Structure 1
Amino acid sequence: MTYVAVACRALVFGVFLCSLISKLRGPVAYSSFVASAGELLGRPRRGVAAAAAGTVIAEAAVTVLVVIPATAPTGLALAAALLAAFSVAVVLAMRRGQRSPCRCFGASETPLGVPHVVRNLLLVVVCLVGLVATTATTDGSRHPAGIAVALTVAAAVLPFILRLDDLVALFRPTYHPGNTRRK
């Protein structure tokens, strides 16, 4: 269980760190995130600014909490709650017909949709598995090779999560003029 906990914590750390960096890499990135959040939430600008700032603070808290063994359960629980809230917000926006671009990891132009909800819910499962594995782990002994494998697994999965929009686009049927069938 120790290595499962390490892999889950590392993956959650990577996801939230990349998300945080993409929002804070400059004023334009942060403004784009706030605007996207406003479209997603369908609220006036002033309430959105507070929600966006709260999101950034919560993401920063997750990145710190999951690294420290004593606070890892709290960090994983917070991450699961945030991801669930993000999923609900995306579903509600989709029901309203709002398809603002995903600003989860930067300046994507891909509209939020089902793949983003699925990704978030899978990450909730990762958080919950990590939470169970972290709280069930009582033995403090860890082999360096086991830690290395767990971190490698997390590092190998992370790019697939970060580049979800590109992966979905690879498998999305495309329309070609003059062809009545979708490929």
Structure 2
Amino acid sequence: MQYVDVAARALLLTVFALALVSKITSRGAWIAFADSIRAMDVIPRAMTPAAAVVTAAGEAGVIVLAAVPVRWAGSAAFVLASLLLGCLTVAVVMVVRRGAAVPCRCFGATETTMGMPHVVRNLILAGTALLGLAASFVGGSFDPLFTAVVALFGAVLGLLMARWDDLYSLLGTS
């Protein structure tokens, strides 16, 4: 189970790092992200700037906690990731049910509107966080080489999750 913890940390660290970087690399990226929160229309408009900051801070928190190689930090990263993903999933479901055409700005500028594929992606990530949380409570020893392989595997899966929209359209299921 300890390797599940490692893989889940690497996956979530990669996903949240890519998401955060896409939001803070430029003023334009930040404004587009905040505008997408406003367009989702799931919170009062006046709370949009605060929601953007809280989201980015939460993503940064997941990144830092997931990178700290102690059990409590991993557990905290998984809890924080689950909370963020839960809130985001509820918001995306509300947007989809309303039929609003809001672009997904999770990983930067895109014209892909939020839809059920985004809900599925978020549920997979939330499931990963919960599985990682369960694994973080199981002790055990680590083989350094296998740990590195598992971490790399988790990071590659994180890259694939970040490119979910592209993978979904590539499979022709749009």
The TM-score, its normalising length taken from structure 1, stands at 0.88
Find the aligned partners of 1:43 and 1:13 in 2 and give their Cα distance.
27
Alpha-carbon distance in 2 for matches of 1:41, 1:11: 29
Residues 88 and 21 from structure 1, CA distance in 2 versus in 1: closer, same or farther, beyond 3 angstroms? same
Which residue number corresponds to residue 76 of structure 2?
74
Corresponding position of 1:164: 164
Instruction: Report runs of 4+ in structure 1 exceeding 2 Å deviation.
Output: 41-46, 171-174
Q: Deviations over 1:102-127 (max 9, x none)?
A: 10001111000000000000011100
Matching residue's letter, 1:41: D
TM-superposed deviation, 1:158: 1.9
Structure 1 letter corresponding to 2:117: P
- Structure 1: gaps spanning 5 or more residues: 175-183
Check whether the contact 2:8–2:132 (CA below 8 A) recurs between aligned residues.
yes
Offset from partner CA, 1:60-80 (integer Å, 9 cap, x none) = 111111222231101101101
Which piece of structure 1 moves more, 158-167 or 81-90? Answer: 158-167
Structure with greater Cα Rg: 1
Amino acid corresponding to residue 50 of structure 1 in structure 2: A
Counterparts of 1:134 and 1:13, CA distance in 2: 15
Is 1:151 aligned with 2:151? yes
**Residue 60 of structure 1 aligns to a residue in which SS?**
helix
3-state SS, counterpart of residue 71 of structure 1: helix
Identity within the alignment, %:
41
| Correspondences of 1:29-178 after superposition (within 5 Å) | 29-43=29-43, 45-68=45-68, 69=70, 70-136=72-138, 138-139=139-140, 141-172=141-172
Name the residue aligned to 1:180.
Answer: none
Flag the 1:71–1:155 CA change in 2: closer, same or farther, 3 A: closer
SS of 1:106 mapped into structure 2 = coil
Query: What is the Cα deviation at residue 135 of structure 1?
Result: 1.0
The 1:128/1:16 distance shift into structure 2, 3 A limit, reads: same
Report if aligned partners of 2:15, 2:159 keep a CA contact under 8 Å in 1: no
Q: Which has the higher contact order (CA 8 A, sep 6+)?
A: 2
Query: Is the contact made by 2:62 and 2:81 (CA closer than 8 Å) also made in structure 1?
Result: yes
Q: Shift of the alpha carbon at 1:43?
A: 4.7
Rounded to whole Å, the distance in 1 between the matches of 2:38 and 2:74 is 31
The amino acid across from 1:96 in the alignment is R
The structure in which a higher percent of residues are helix is 2
Match of 2:23 in 1: 23
**C-alpha distance in 1, partners of 2:56/2:159?**
21
Tell me the C-alpha RMSD between the 2 structures.
Answer: 1.5
Stretches of structure 2 that go unaligned for 5 or more consecutive residues are none
